């Protein structure tokens, strides 16, 4: 079995944090460079879509059982925008603790207001899709890529600004945000538009990537897998449970983002499975750093290649 892991923010670990199993895999394996990319860009290239914007909205709709058809979709994820002196900073949904019930209520209010222009689907509390809408261009990065940043340079085409202001007015005045503000919680006062486009007719993993399955919580990755006709599911609680259900052979893609808790749940069990022969090769892709590492069982004998902290890999790629 060949296990490929994609962990975009792998080297963003806090200073001083150690991950013995991961550090051993990186040290003993063969390192190579690639073009730095976001997770979305990496997925687009890996599934044969080439460079350009991944239609994450349509792929999310497909992954969640909606029928994208030929309609234009985009992601419209809930965010908190905070004025800060002469700038406005964005904080993505994973910093908001938004429950499914509140997400559904906010989306319903927006649909009531904008029903003749587009439809919002709160497919997950922190992942919303916008179906329809104007054909103006949307060239923006996902919220996680710009967390805490000034949004001025990240905003879509200026023709969207009036609509974004209207969205913000409806959301800010909603009783859910009134209650959040009274509790001292950040309000969900906007959506962030990105990943616009229509569903591709087909996708095909490029190069030698003939995956037998894709495991991810990322909805765009699951949508690509479904469109490619691949087995797909959530990674689950960790490598132990995942390996129990995985076939003995084949090549399997795991998208793990964000990277919290990966050492105990994933890298330590995968290293043990590599040592024991259950896995034949582990490939770890770090798109943001433009690097990947391939390790086979015999590589583990290269004792002279000593592990080093993840911070050292981050500095080397900077």
Model confidence over 218-247: pLDDT tens digits?
999 999 999 999 999 999 989 999 999 998
Model confidence over 120-140: pLDDT tens digits?
999 999 999 999 989 998 989
Predicted pLDDT at 316: 58
Predicted pLDDT at 53: 81
Q: Which residues of the chain have pLDDT under 50?
A: none
* Distance from C-alpha of 307 to C-alpha of 78, rounded to nearest angstrom: 40
What is the pTM assigned to this prediction?
Answer: 0.93
* Distance from C-alpha of 29 to C-alpha of 72, rounded to nearest angstrom: 43
Predicted pLDDT at 2: 96
- Residue 304: CB atoms within 10 Å: 7
Sheet holding 291-296, edge to edge: 30-33, 291-296, 281-286, 2-6, 251-255, 213-216, 231-233
* Distance from C-alpha of 256 to C-alpha of 58, rounded to nearest angstrom: 21
Predicted pLDDT at 141: 92
Predicted pLDDT at 310: 83
Residue reference for tokens 């550090």: 23
Predicted pLDDT at 259: 61
Predicted pLDDT at 208: 61
């Amino acid at each position: 079995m060949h296990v490929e892991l994609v962990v975009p923010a792998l080297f963003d670990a806090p200073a001083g944090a150690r991950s013995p199993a991961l550090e051993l895999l990186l040290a003993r394996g063969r390192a190579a460079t690639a073009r730095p990319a976001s997770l979305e860009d990496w997925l687009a290239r890996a599934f044969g879509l080439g460079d350009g914007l991944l239609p994450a909205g349509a792929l999310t709709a497909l992954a969640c059982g909606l029928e994208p058809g030929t309609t234009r979709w985009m992601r419209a994820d809930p965010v908190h925008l905070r004025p800060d002196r002469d700038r406005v900073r964005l904080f993505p949904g994973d910093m908001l603790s938004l429950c499914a019930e509140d997400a559904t209520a906010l989306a319903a209010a927006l649909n009531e207001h904008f029903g003749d222009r587009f439809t919002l689907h709160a497919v997950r509390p922190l992942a919303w899709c916008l179906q329809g809408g104007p054909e103006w261009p949307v060239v923006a990065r996902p919220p996680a890529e710009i967390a805490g940043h000034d949004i001025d340079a990240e905003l879509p085409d200026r023709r969207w600004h009036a609509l974004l202001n209207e969205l913000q007015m409806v959301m800010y005045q909603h009783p859910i945000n009134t209650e959040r503000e009274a509790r001292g919680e950040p309000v969900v006062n906007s959506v962030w538009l990105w990943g616009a486009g229509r569903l591709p007719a087909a996708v095909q993993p490029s190069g030698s990537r003939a995956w037998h399955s894709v495991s991810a919580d990322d909805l765009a990755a699951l949508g690509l897998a479904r469109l490619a006709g691949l087995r797909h599911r959530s990674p689950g609680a960790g490598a132990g449970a995942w390996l129990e259900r995985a076939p003995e052979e084949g090549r399997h893609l795991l998208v793990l983002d964000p990277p919290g808790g990966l050492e105990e749940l994933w890298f330590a069990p995968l290293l043990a499975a590599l040592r024991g022969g259950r896995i034949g090769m582990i490939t770890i892709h770090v798109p943001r750093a433009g690097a990947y590492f391939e390790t086979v069982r015999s590589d583990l004998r290269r004792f002279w290649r000593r592990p080093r902290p993840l911070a050292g890999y981050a500095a080397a790629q900077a």
